[in-house]
Chains A and B, each alone.
Chain A
Amino acid sequence: MLADRQKVLVISLLIISFLLYSFSIYLNPPEKKEPVTLLSTKGKLVWQQYNCVACHQVYGLGGYLGPDLTNVYSHKGAAYIKVFLANGTATMPNFHLSDEDIAALTAYLQQIDASGSADPRSYTIQPDGTIQQ
């Protein structure tokens, strides 16, 4: 059996390290050179308002009914994106978005695209099991 004192010691150490780790991330967050604009920040809120993430992924995270959109901006282009947003598809609803919302969403997808690549083919696997992007 462990004594109460030992338990308190272990848990205190764990909690202190957890808080240090958490705050180091809040204060020194990973930021990429993304073109953050007024329009793209608005686009993020439009993205959330229509719950696009229920069907789409960004960096592989989200719902799985539709494709990952991380790099759709550089792969397919703004005009292509706008066609989808304006019309929907058999599965994707037409949200009857305003021109402004469409522009904002497109700017947001451009921002995501500039943050990195989500294409697993572009990663190299290291012998120790880690990956390099």
Chain B
Amino acid sequence: MAPFNNKRPDVPKLFSLAALLLLVTGMVWGVTGGLQYLMPGFLKPFLSFEKVRPLHVSSVVFWIILGAMGAVLTYLQQHTGKKIASTKLLKAQFFLFVITVLVILISYFAGIFGGREYWEFHPLLSLPIAIGWILFLINFLRSLGGLKNQPVYVWMWLTGIVFFLFTFLESYLWVLPYFRDHVVKDMTIQWKSYGSMVGSWNMLLYGSSIFLMDKINNHKKYSYSKIAFVLYFTGLFNLMFNWGHHIYTLPTHPHIKHISYAVSMTELFILGRIIYSWRATLTEARKNFYIISYRFLAAADLWIFLTLVLAIAMSVPAINVYTHGTHITVAHTMGATIGINSFILLAISFDLLNDTCQSFEPFKKLFSRGYWLANVSLLVFWLSLIGAGVLKARWQMSQQQEVFQDMMRQLRPFFALFLISGTTLLCGIVMIVYPLLRNQWVCYFKNNSKKTARNVYSNTPGERISAAVLFAINE
């Protein structure tokens, strides 16, 4: 690609850029929440934990969702060799999402909540998200053409998109009194939808990472293979039926728990397959480690392994009794969303935002340090949450339970470690992301006066906003 090209970044790229911004700001909210764990009452008068937690969780969840959409939209074009069917729909989708996410974050500051875990915003704000997602589905189908003889990642993208829509709508059944009046019914359906929703965005991300691996390897042997489809169907089977492991302790229908217990154990097959192909992965890793995207895929592989081991253990009800309701659950959730989802997305970001407007050479050291800092920090972060969780599990099971606050006080060393490693994790990620954003800035703004940059972005008001956002990060 020519240096200093002054063409506009295409829309899928804007998804990735917006996503990266949400990642960094979302982690700042995470650190704020970590501070509140350590200093009870910190910022309580105006930014109490019930605001900080959704600011953090929604920001990072939208990092994953926007990032996944950017990845699928870009790779779909590379796969078909054609442009996305409708640029208009694409832009509408982008602005629906970006504006809604902004309104959601602002509403949290104002203390306006829908009060459901993960989707803590007002239920009305789910409408533009659902509409944006439907636009995504329409554009995807129109651009794809058909399902005939498609590689596994196309199947994964399509199932991911369809199931996200289904589960997102399902998670709003509570607005009907029939679904929300009874606690157990409400929570059963809530966690049914959440469990499958996570599976849906994983389909989008794993599909994209398979595409990227093919691209790095320069062949498509894997994505048409039988094993790829067997693993895909196993994943889909789990997406549909394993969600009950979130609610083993809820007095819901026993068969829901039995089904999910049995289905979750099929993940052992995926685990076995990972161990089986470990050696091959390692040699490949050595060969490809110089490729930045590849490094994140290698790190994600390790985290898939660690997360899967923890997940399978937690899917055994007899073990879940101990881990449920403790920070081991948080370790699992953040381990997966950072170590797997975020690392895959970073791999993809380096692939998507790779315009060579500026040499990467001066940033190599910074990047490498950031990469290792992030990985080591994440391990400490994860272990500190597991440590806190083990102590809380002991408290939950002890016959003479001391008061909640006294138990929390005993967990403080772990919370301190959590906060420190969380902060260094943030630093590591910033060191990784900075060269990327800086490169984008050079591509589109530097050596073009601001005026030119504005000219470049003068087509629509929305593009001017994105330009302003890019300026804001870099100045």
Q: Are B115 and A51 in contact (CB under 8 A)?
A: yes
User: How many of B's residues come within 8 Å of A, CB to CB?
Assistant: 76
Q: Are B50 and A55 in contact (CB under 8 A)?
A: yes
Given contact pairs A7-B229, A60-B324, A131-B248, A30 touches B183 in the complex (Cβ within 8 A) = no
Q: Are A118 and B249 in contact (CB under 8 A)?
A: yes
Asked if A34 is at the interface of the complex by the 8 Å CB criterion, the answer is yes
Q: Are B233 and A14 in contact (CB under 8 A)?
A: yes
A66, chain B: closest CB distance, angstroms: 8
In the assembled complex, the Cα of A18 lies from the Cα of B54 at a distance in Å of 30
Question: Which has the most chain A C-beta neighbours within 10 Å: B53, B177, B256, B320?
Answer: B53
Given contact pairs A44-B180, A68-B325, A120 touches B397 in the complex (Cβ within 8 A) = yes
A37, chain B: closest CB distance, angstroms: 10
Given contact pairs A4-B147, A65-B37, A32 touches B117 in the complex (Cβ within 8 A) = no
Q: Are A29 and B317 in contact (CB under 8 A)?
A: no
Q: Are A61 and B182 in contact (CB under 8 A)?
A: no
Q: Are A25 and B189 in contact (CB under 8 A)?
A: yes
Q: Are B246 and A61 in contact (CB under 8 A)?
A: yes
In the assembled complex, the Cα of A125 lies from the Cα of B179 at a distance in Å of 31
* B120-155 contacts to A (CB < 8 Å): 120, 147-149, 155
B253, chain A: closest CB distance, angstroms: 5
Q: Are B50 and A51 in contact (CB under 8 A)?
A: yes
Some 6 contacts from A to B, beta carbons below 8 A apart, are A2-B229, A30-B188, A41-B180, A51-B50, A61-B247, A64-B326
**What is the 8 Å Cβ interface bit string for chain A, positions 54-93, against chain B (1 contact, 0 not)?**
1101111111111110000000000000000000001101
B406, chain A: closest CB distance, angstroms: 12
B214, chain A: closest CB distance, angstroms: 15
Question: Which has the most chain B C-beta neighbours within 10 Å: A25, A55, A61, A130?
Answer: A61
Selected from B44, B251, B256, B324, the residue in CB contact (under 8 A) with A93 is B44
Given contact pairs A1-B225, A30-B251, A91-B44, A49 touches B182 in the complex (Cβ within 8 A) = no
**What is the 8 Å Cβ interface bit string for chain B, positions 233-258, against chain A (1 contact, 0 not)?**
10011001100001111111100111
Q: Are A120 and B322 in contact (CB under 8 A)?
A: yes
List of A residues within 8 angstroms of B114 by Cβ: 48
In the assembled complex, the Cα of A55 lies from the Cα of B116 at a distance in Å of 12
**What is the 8 Å Cβ interface bit string for chain A, positions 23-51, against chain B (1 contact, 0 not)?**
00110011110101000010010011111
Asked if B462 is at the interface of the complex by the 8 Å CB criterion, the answer is no
Q: A11-B233, A133-B249 are in contact. List 4 more A-B contacts (CB 8 A).
A: A4-B149, A50-B50, A55-B50, A116-B251
List of A residues within 8 angstroms of B44 by Cβ: 91, 93
Asked if B36 is at the interface of the complex by the 8 Å CB criterion, the answer is yes
Q: Are B49 and A25 in contact (CB under 8 A)?
A: no
Selected from B184, B187, B252, B399, the residue in CB contact (under 8 A) with A121 is B399
Asked if B226 is at the interface of the complex by the 8 Å CB criterion, the answer is yes
Q: Are B225 and A121 in contact (CB under 8 A)?
A: no
Q: Are B181 and A41 in contact (CB under 8 A)?
A: yes
Q: Are B50 and A25 in contact (CB under 8 A)?
A: no
Q: Are B321 and A120 in contact (CB under 8 A)?
A: yes
Q: Are B236 and A11 in contact (CB under 8 A)?
A: yes
**What is the 8 Å Cβ interface bit string for chain B, positions 243-277, against chain A (1 contact, 0 not)?**
00011111111001111010000000000000000
In the assembled complex, the Cα of A68 lies from the Cα of B392 at a distance in Å of 12
Asked if A112 is at the interface of the complex by the 8 Å CB criterion, the answer is yes
In the assembled complex, the Cα of A119 lies from the Cα of B322 at a distance in Å of 11
Selected from B40, B170, B192, B236, the residue in CB contact (under 8 A) with A91 is B40
List of A residues within 8 angstroms of B404 by Cβ: 66-67
* B393-434 contacts to A (CB < 8 Å): 396-397, 399, 404
Selected from A31, A34, A121, the residue in CB contact (under 8 A) with B396 is A121
Given contact pairs A21-B241, A50-B113, A63 touches B182 in the complex (Cβ within 8 A) = no
Given contact pairs A1-B226, A64-B327, A116 touches B177 in the complex (Cβ within 8 A) = no
B300, chain A: closest CB distance, angstroms: 26
Asked if B11 is at the interface of the complex by the 8 Å CB criterion, the answer is no
Given contact pairs A25-B188, A59-B187, A125 touches B240 in the complex (Cβ within 8 A) = no
Q: Considering only CB atoms, which chain A residue lies closest to B258 in the complex? A: A130
Q: Are A91 and B49 in contact (CB under 8 A)?
A: yes
Asked if B3 is at the interface of the complex by the 8 Å CB criterion, the answer is no
**What is the 8 Å Cβ interface bit string for chain A, positions 98-122, against chain B (1 contact, 0 not)?**
0000000000000110011011110
In the assembled complex, the Cα of A67 lies from the Cα of B233 at a distance in Å of 39
In the assembled complex, the Cα of A93 lies from the Cα of B240 at a distance in Å of 39
Q: Are A48 and B115 in contact (CB under 8 A)?
A: yes
A51, chain B: closest CB distance, angstroms: 4
**What is the 8 Å Cβ interface bit string for chain B, positions 295-325, against chain A (1 contact, 0 not)?**
0000000000000000000001111111011
In the assembled complex, the Cα of A53 lies from the Cα of B321 at a distance in Å of 20
Q: Are B261 and A129 in contact (CB under 8 A)?
A: yes
List of A residues within 8 angstroms of B257 by Cβ: 130
List of A residues within 8 angstroms of B50 by Cβ: 50-52, 54-55, 63, 93
Asked if B330 is at the interface of the complex by the 8 Å CB criterion, the answer is yes
Selected from A17, A60, A90, the residue in CB contact (under 8 A) with B240 is A17
A58, chain B: closest CB distance, angstroms: 7
Q: Are B399 and A14 in contact (CB under 8 A)?
A: no
